[in-house]
Structure 1
């Protein structure tokens, strides 16, 4: 982080506190404070940073940002109305110190993978800042922007939300030159009530865009394909929709990769990505389009996508003792669950296709219906064995059995599910793990690697 004048920072945060000096880093945790840090006393459900204001100074902080009285000298405190809002304001002020190409990404599903693919493409030409993991909220996004320095030429910033107004704040702080929206699904529908409201909330991403900027939308999404806004240059990407500006055709899935052709600007480009599923082809199209609009050669974009490495437990494919494991349990929603089961069903397999599923969280009153729909879908597809764990996932098995799938079993604890899987898995099988992150299915995956 480049050095900033404390008095100017206080003004940017809307404070009349009289402070002086300079800062060279920002922290929200006293364990990471460096000499010259500005410490933001944030609050959470289980913590209050104000309790550590004195400790922050002891550790070397130059100043503290607080929204209530703290027992340290007044000339070492910037008082604000809300430290959480001030943290966003700080990020906005700091971002204004730099001139670089920033791309904002949101969507109900696929935003993290799309962000990673866009970053891979941008890095082929520019030094690129990107959101780490899923640091995509009002705390994580400022931490990303505050990593900027003069060496960065571009960036890709992921934006998440659960209610109206949240993406507005993130995009105003970021001031991107381009925005991408992947899918309008049903995640957070308990807060927003309908997919139409989710669309409205996601399109707040345009609030930080200048007029005439590119707005890249998934043209295969039934809501996004109908978006009209004369303030922006809308580009549609897709597979099925013939009206898209850029399309993928002739998809061919291998064991752990997908080949396809990209039709763009009256040209055809052969491409391949090291992951499977139509949804990942759509993510790659968004990344390719972002790259060419930022003046990266199409051939360079294609090579960057080939070199892309899936991160975390996002459809990471592992060969183990003669069978294949797909680690896809970083998050889950009805849309991503459908994509996972459909992709598993279409994979070439010498043995059985086994789906190990657990709960999709944050669905509210839609939880039972969504889990039942997942089970019914599994019964219709080419899946030989369905194993589930979690209170809501019992509805998956109920619906699968009602639809005629006899090899569907629910377990009340992970150990029993693991024991069943250990007895069942054979050479040539594909085992696909899918659940929300909070269900911790990786515990079963790790035991499988250790013992089977």
Structure 2
């Protein structure tokens, strides 16, 4: 980022004439480097109290919504009424100044993987920049924009939501040329009320979509059909058996999935039919931005998956661990269970499932519904957390080798699994991030 103090002041309604260059922006004072703009935010702690530390670390300017007399001396100070809104306004300005084509991706599941695939595809032809990690909210998205290089030609933005209205704001900041909704699941159903409410929330991604833009949606989601009927933008559907863009799955292994679109074959280095649908979105973006099938195939084959999304590792004794523990909802859990069940693997398949959070009043029923995905393909089933107790009681009289552990018994869960697994086994761990299954994986990796 290269903005002068004068330029920032003009954007935020101030009047400073300095040509001092600002080359970085941070809201964490510990990450400040020389020539940074510090953005103090108000949360559990008030970021204004860390302005002096930011200055010591190299900040030359700060946003400020407190009494101006309390700002550290020696900093350029931009006085604003709300530092977060000023941060977002600055991001909108910088996005407009750099003027990349903008791709926006949302969905109840698969948006991070789809973002990674899409960036890898478009990087075959363009200078690209994407959302790092899961910086996909009202702070993470402007942070992403303000960290994109000035040479960026295509900006790939992941957009997340917790409540109605969240995506409207993000879409209006990002102003996408093209957008996609990967899936309507049950994530955040507690705040949005129903899958229908979630669908309406995801459709907010079109709030800033350019009038001549395009929206990609799953062909097998009836909740979206009435919501797109009034849009002026072009609508393209994707799916495995229906839609404008279709794929046929050819082969699945532990490390990859092969599929065809028309006469062209593709390979992605991840498992699952659901990931083929994610790849269809990346393919569609690539096609929209003028890439050839060969360029798209190269990008998909070599894309790098963000950590903890269906990631393979090894247990202490050589057993394979498939980690998918960043988030979870019933749709996502069912998809990964079905895919794991279909994999041709040498030893036993063992599953470790933890609670899916934020499901509201229907949480118990939604956990019990996972029973339909727990087949004889799984030799051992470990269930962890208070919500998984409902699934345990629905299964315990129907099958053997099913074990339940309360939330406070994580150490016992780890010890039991360690005693059970054999070197040829494969374990799938799936649950919401808040359940701490990442700690279980780390423990299983250690002797």
TM-score (norm 2): 0.92
Which runs of at least 4 in structure 1 moved beyond 6 Å after TM superposition? none
- CA shift digits 1:217-276 (9 cap, x unpaired): 1112232355324411111110122xx11101143212221111113xxxx211111111
> CA separation of 1:20/1:421 partners in 2, compared to 1, >3 Å: closer, same or farther?
same
CA contact under 8 A between 2:270 and 2:310: conserved in structure 1? Answer: yes
Structure 2 distance, partners of 1:379, 1:39, is 50
Indicate the residue corresponding to 2:124 in structure 1. Answer: 124
- 8 Å Cα contact 2:319-2:423 kept in structure 1: yes
Cα distance in structure 1, aligned partners of 2:279 and 2:210: 25
Q: Which residue of structure 2 aligns with residue 362 of structure 1?
A: 358
Aligned pairs for 1:149-228 (under 5 A) are 149-226=149-226, 227-228=228-229
Of 438, 441, 444, the residue aligned with 1:442 is 438
Q: Distance in 2 between matches of 1:386 and 1:141?
A: 38
1:50 aligns with 2:48: yes
Q: Which stretch shifts more, 197-206 or 345-354?
A: 345-354
Matched length: 440
Which residue in the other structure is 1:306 paired with?
301
1:18: how far off? 5.6
Mapped to 2, the partners of 1:279 and 1:377 lie a distance apart of 18
CA distance in 1, matches of 2:36, 2:419: 55
Rounded Cα–Cα distance in structure 2 between residues aligned with 1:368 and 1:79: 49
- For residues 80 and 318 of structure 2, what CA distance do their matches in structure 1 show? 59
Q: Which residue of 2 aligns with 1:86?
A: 86
SS of aligned partner of 1:306: helix
Partner of 2:275: 280
Q: Which residue of 1 aligns with 2:384?
A: 389
Q: After superposition, what is the alpha-carbon deviation per residue over 1:98-126, rounded to whole angstroms, capped at 9, x for unaligned?
A: 12222110001100000000011011111
Gapped runs of 5+ residues in structure 2?
Answer: none
- CA change 1:303–1:72 in 2 (3 A) is closer
- Does structure 1 residue 432 correspond to structure 2 residue 428? yes
Q: TM-score, normalised by structure 1?
A: 0.91
| Mapped contact 2:112–2:306 kept (Cα < 8 A) | no
Distance 2:137 2:71 in 1: 30
Measured in 2, the distance between the counterparts of 1:438 and 1:17 equals 45
Matches within 5 A, 1:248-267: 248-263=247-262
Deviation of 1:66 after TM superposition, in Å, equals 2.1
Runs (5+) with no aligned partner, structure 1: none
Q: Distance in 2 between matches of 1:314 and 1:2?
A: 34
| SS of 1:196 mapped into structure 2 | helix
Q: Structure 1 residues 129-138 or 422-431, which shifts more?
A: 422-431
Q: Distance in 2 between matches of 1:422 and 1:55?
A: 45
Task: Report the equivalent of 1:296.
Answer: 291
Report if the CA contact (8 A) 1:358-1:388 is conserved.
yes
Cα distance change on mapping 1:19 and 1:194 into 2, 3 Å: farther
Q: How far has the Cα of 1:17 moved from its partner?
A: 6.3
- Tell me, what secondary structure is at the counterpart of 2:187? coil
After TM superposition, the structure 1 stretch with the greater mean CA deviation from structure 2, 177-186 or 327-336, is 327-336
Please give the alpha-carbon distance, in whole angstroms, between the structure 1 residues aligned to 2:182 and 2:235: 13
Please say if residues 288 and 301 of structure 1, whose CA atoms lie closer than 8 Å, have aligned partners that are also in contact: yes
Partner of 2:64: 66
**What is the distance in 1 between the residues matched to 2:129 and 2:222?**
32
Q: Distance in 1 between matches of 2:414 and 2:23?
A: 50
- Give, in whole Å, the separation in 1 of the partners of 2:403 and 2:359: 22
Aligned to 2:97, the other structure's residue is in SS state coil
**Aligned partners of 2:309, 2:376: CA distance in 1, in Å?**
22
Q: Equivalents in 1 of 2:58, 2:294: separation in Å?
A: 49
Aligned partners of 2:185 and 2:332 also within 8 Å = no
Measured against aligned partners, the alpha-carbon deviations of 1:51-82 in whole angstroms (never above 9, x if no partner) come to 22344344443332122225027994322222
- Residues 390, 56 of structure 1: alpha-carbon distance in 2 compared, 3 angstrom cutoff: same
The CA distance in 2 between the partners of 1:288 and 1:391, in whole Å, is: 40
Which deviates more from structure 2 when the two are superposed, residues 245-254 or residues 114-123? 245-254
How far residue 416 of structure 1 moved from its aligned partner, in angstroms, is: 1.3
Contact 2:24–2:147 under 8 Å retained in 1: no
> Residue 323 of structure 2: SS of its match in structure 1?
strand
Q: Deviations over 1:120-161 (max 9, x none)?
A: 101111121011111001111111111123322212110001
Match of 1:231 in 2: 232
CA distance change for structure 1 residues 24 and 351 in 2, over 3 Å: closer, same or farther? closer
Gap change, CA 1:100 and 1:247, over 3 Å in 2? same
| CA distance 1:21–1:315, change in 2 (3 Å) | same
Are 2:52 and 2:72, in contact at CA under 8 Å, matched by a contact in 1? Answer: no
Residue 208 of structure 1, CA deviation: 1.3
Residues in 1 aligned to 2:347 and 2:32: alpha-carbon distance in whole angstroms: 53
